[in-house]
Amino acid sequence: MFLERCKGYEEDAKRFLFLSAETNDIQMDYPMVRPLFQRAMTYKTAQDVLKLFEQFRKNLKLNRQSKTMESAERSKKLKGLKKDFYDGLIRDLLGKKAHQLAQVIYGEKKREKFDVTIHDQLIGFEIFSAQKKIDEYKEIYSEVVRDGTKYQLNKNVCEEVARTLLQFKSDEHQRELLEMCDTLRDRIFDHDIRVSGQLFDCLATQYTESQSWSKLLNLFNSCEHHNADPTPRTVSYVKKNLVYCFDTTVRGSLKESIDNFEVKFFSNAGREARRLYRESQ
């Protein structure tokens, strides 16, 4: 409550927090200092936020109660405290759409040599896609999707990859985006990950915008009740753009495939078939 009311008295608040390391009962952590950071994010400059970050990082210590712990236990607790501090600050910066500043803190966290989790990588996807930094994005993508060994892929991870991929403009990064979509598609089907509406939208949109008609046809033909939940909106988008497919044979095959696809997934009979399939699982 004190910190919530400390407008104009930030220096006194910081001294109070720094002295908490000399107590047995008060442990400084990010939730405790968050009001100061939130105020700085709202009313001050990015440089002021970084200055505040450096001050608290330097003074983040365990209180006196930790002196009764074994050295290894104390080290582990301090490491966890620091990691939570970084994570909390990055989360708040992203909430403020301060992606460039979040990238700075994200980089500092990496220098701490914490174990890199899939959550850390997903945060990286968000930071770099928002700033259209394709090279940094591709570096994380290679570790998470292309390698496919360090992290376990599931629907949630793939959906986050798909969401952030769509933030890039396809005309500027068409080759890279197409390559990443191909790899994502392969991983989805290789790992029997269900093609959700978001995943289908990402792949179908990218293949349409890049005019990769044969890949689009393959995507439609690969989706069945047991592995996909496409949305009519995406299919409508594809149909509107078929005028740009100048190969009449391919366009005819796509139209036929889409017609069958719509009957399969969106007709009354198709919806009933999907319902029965889900109930049987």
Which residues lie closer than 8 Å to 266 by C-beta, 6 or more apart? Answer: 232, 235
| Cβ proximity of 96 and 41 under 8 Å | yes
User: Cα separation of 30 and 84, whole Å?
Assistant: 7
| Cβ proximity of 227 and 261 under 8 Å | no
pLDDT of 151 strictly over 80: yes
Q: What is the pLDDT of residue 1?
A: 47
For residue 169, give the nearest of 201, 138, 210 by alpha carbon. 210
Q: What is the pLDDT of residue 274?
A: 58
User: What are 54's two structure tokens?
Assistant: 């450096």
Q: At what angle do helices 174-190 and 213-222 cross, to 10 degrees?
A: 20
Average pLDDT over residues 213-220: 97
Average pLDDT of every residue of the chain: 88
User: Cα separation of 95 and 254, whole Å?
Assistant: 41
pLDDT of 71 strictly over 90: no
User: Cα separation of 179 and 142, whole Å?
Assistant: 11
- Which has more confidence, 105 or 2? 105
Average pLDDT over residues 81-95: 96
* CA torsion through residues 141, 143, 147, 151, sign: negative
